[in-house]
Amino acid sequence: MVFGAANPVSIKLDQVSLVHPNGYRAINQVSCEIGNGERVAIIGPSGAGKTTLLRLLATALRPSGGTIRILGDDPWGIGRAALRELRCRVGMVHQSPPIPPRQRVVTAVLAGRLGRWPLWKALVSLVYPVDIAGAARMLARMEIADKLFERCDRLSGGQMQRVGVARILYQQPDLLLTDEPVAAVDPALSDRILGELNREAIERGVTLVASLHAVDLALHWFPRIIGIRGGEIAFDLPPVRVTDAMLRDLYASEAAVPTQSNELLAPQPAGVRRKPMCS
């Protein structure tokens, strides 16, 4: 199902599979298309292949079968320079931010644009940060502007996660990927982070794909939900058409459908509990 079919396609997977060297089939013949500017949540039980799928989209993994096109390019068919160029346009928020503990927040955020900077600028920035104002702006959106010159190992888990998001906002990618961006933060902060990511995607008209563990967050924030299980797409629907039965089926191996605060998803006329849209 393609939304906004008039837009050029941002992601196109055709029969994509990924088999790990030990023979484990993490992704099995997945085909899907995501248009430019779409905002998609990927949900599914742990081990379903959410992270693997996102890493395929981030060109961090190479599919063992099928074809993949990211922002109009085949990442594994183009040259090395073109691939690096493409990677600059793809931003990934990791589940635990890959930031050295000894690095200062300002450096960690500025590192988002390393791919676009010439080497001399990157080296100069180590001596004196070249765009303090830019880093501060992104941190302000995450409400941690006061941590600008703090060292990352002095931050809490939630603050660290926000630094990771600020880095990707600073990168200004055309494809925003986030792997469980709110897995380790409290509910209020989850909404803040997802809100900013969505706002970024809408304002700049870029694509946002997020894997989420909490189903209620996915249903609330994203107009398109892809449920995956066992490395295959179980459903690909707008949230109003995702039923309780589908969710129970998707999470059959887990005790309950996971939500942000471990509350049960109460059945409602639309089939799912939804958070109020204006908050």
Q: Residue 83: which H helix or E strand, with range?
A: helix 80-88
Decide if residue 260 touches another protein (CB under 8 A). Answer: no
Closer residue to another protein in complex, CB, 162/224: 162
Decide if residue 124 touches another protein (CB under 8 A). Answer: no
Decide if residue 127 touches another protein (CB under 8 A). Answer: no
Decide if residue 122 touches another protein (CB under 8 A). Answer: yes
Q: How far is CA 52 from CA 20, 35, 59, 108, 222, in A?
A: 10, 20, 11, 25, 20
Decide if residue 88 touches another protein (CB under 8 A). Answer: yes
* Amino acid in the structure at residue 261: S
Between 157-171 and 187-204, two packed helices, what is the crossing angle to 10 degrees?
Answer: 0
Here's the x/- map for another protein, 23-42, by CB under 8 A: it reads as: --------------------
Closer residue to another protein in complex, CB, 90/201: 90
Shortest Å distance, C-beta 236 to another protein: 26
**Whole-angstrom Cα distance, residue 163 to residue 42?**
23
Tell me the sheet residues that pair with 41. 210, 225
Judge contact between 63 and 56, C-beta under 8 A. Answer: yes
Using CB under 8 A, which of 70, 86, 163, 176 touches another protein?
86
Residues at the site binding another protein, with contacts judged by CB under 8 A: 58-62, 76, 79-80, 83-92, 94, 98-103, 107, 111-112, 114-117, 119, 122-123, 126, 171
